[in-house]
Amino acid sequence: MSLDDIDARIITALIRDARASYAAIGNEVGLSAPAVKRRVDRLRASGAITGFSARVDPAALGWTTEAYVELFCGGRTSPDEIAAAVRRYPEVVDACTVTGEADALVHIRAADVRHFERVMERIGAEPFVQRTRSVIVLSRLVERADSFAPSEHA
């Protein structure tokens, strides 16, 4: 599906505030509320908008330790095997296969370093994991909630 300028502006408005009313978005993009609703429905039906969610500060939930962990896997471990394993850990907030020496990169949030260590022990015990290398985040420098907003420079 190709997005026109109005679709892109609607998506940008929804990324900024998914709770904004269709009327408020319509005022911003120059459409009526029903026209915005029709476009949002079409964007959802096409898969361009995959859902809506709340952004929560992990520290407010007591998850103050954040780390990135490289997984080095043995043999012919498939991405599906890695995904199935790390998906079982609620502390894993994101995971992907990567280029380079490591096979996968896992983003973990935990209550504290001791909690992180327990998670690492469990992940490290997965049969396909040969070794791990982790870095703990000291401070987050950039976090873009609107990173998927259509860019006018693209």
Q: Do the domains at 5-46 and 58-136 have one common CATH topology?
A: no
- pLDDT band for position 153 (50/70/90)? very low
pTM: 0.74
pLDDT at 88: 96
Could you tell me the CA-to-CA distances from 34 to 13, 25, 47, 50 in Å, in that order? 16, 11, 20, 20
CATH of domain 58-136: 3.30.70.920
User: Rounded mean pLDDT of 97-113?
Assistant: 96
Q: Mean pLDDT of all residues in the chain?
A: 91
Q: Are the C-beta atoms of residues 137 and 67 closer than 8 Å to each other?
A: yes
Q: What pLDDT band is residue 30 in, cutting at 50, 70 and 90?
A: very high
Residue written as token pair 């330790």: 65
Per-domain residue ranges for the chain? 5-46, 58-136
Q: What is the pLDDT of residues 39-64, one digit of tens each?
A: 999 999 999 999 988 888 888 888 89
What is the distance between the alpha carbons of residues 29 and 36, in angstroms, rounded to a whole number?
A: 9
**Any idea which fold 5-46 has?**
Arc Repressor Mutant, subunit A (1.10.10)
Beta carbons of 136 and 66 less than 8 angstroms apart? yes
State yes or no: pLDDT of 35 exceeds 90.
yes
Which pLDDT tens digit goes with each residue over 62-102? 889 999 999 999 888 999 999 999 999 999 999 999 999 99
Beta strands 65-73 and 104-110, pairing class:
antiparallel
